[in-house]
Structure 1
Amino acid sequence: MDARQLDYFLAVVEHGGFTRAADALQLAQPSLSQAIRALERDLGAKLFQRAGRGVVLTSAGEALVAPARRVALDLIAAREAVASVVGLVAGRVDLVVQPAAVDAAGELTARFRLRHPAVTVRLIEPRRPPYLTRDLREGDAQLGLSYLPVAESKGLVVEPLREVEVVVVLPPGAHRPGEPMAVDELAGVPLVVGAPGTAWRELTDGLFTEAGITPTIAVESTFREAITPLITSGGLAALVPAALAPDDAVIRPLSPPVRRTLALLRRPGVLPPAAEAFLHTAKLHLQGREELRDKPPSPSLRPGVPPW
Structure 2
Amino acid sequence: MKKLLRIVLLTLIFASGVLNLTGGQVHAKTAVNDFQVQAILPSDNLSHSSYFNLKVKPDTNRVLRLRITNNSNKRQRINVQPNNATTNENGIIDYSVHAKKDSSATTSFTDMLSNRNGKSVSVAGKSSAIVSFKLTLPKQPFSGTILGGFLVYSVSATNQVKNSNQSSNLAHYVIATQLVESSQQVKPNLLYHGTKYVGSGGLPRVQVNLQNTQPTIIGNVHVKTTVTGEGNKVVAKVDQKMLNFAPNSSFGYQLPTLNNKELKAGNYHLNMTVKGDNGSWKFDKLFTVTDKDGKAAKIAKPATNWKQIIMWVIEGLAILIVLAYIINKFRKWMKKD
Same fold (TM over 0.5): no
> Which of the two has greater strand per residue?
2
TM-score normalised per structure 2: 0.25
TM-score normalised per structure 1: 0.26
Pick 1 or 2: higher relative contact order, CA cutoff 8 A, min separation 6.
Answer: 1
Which has the greater radius of gyration?
Answer: 2
> Which of the two has greater helix per residue?
1
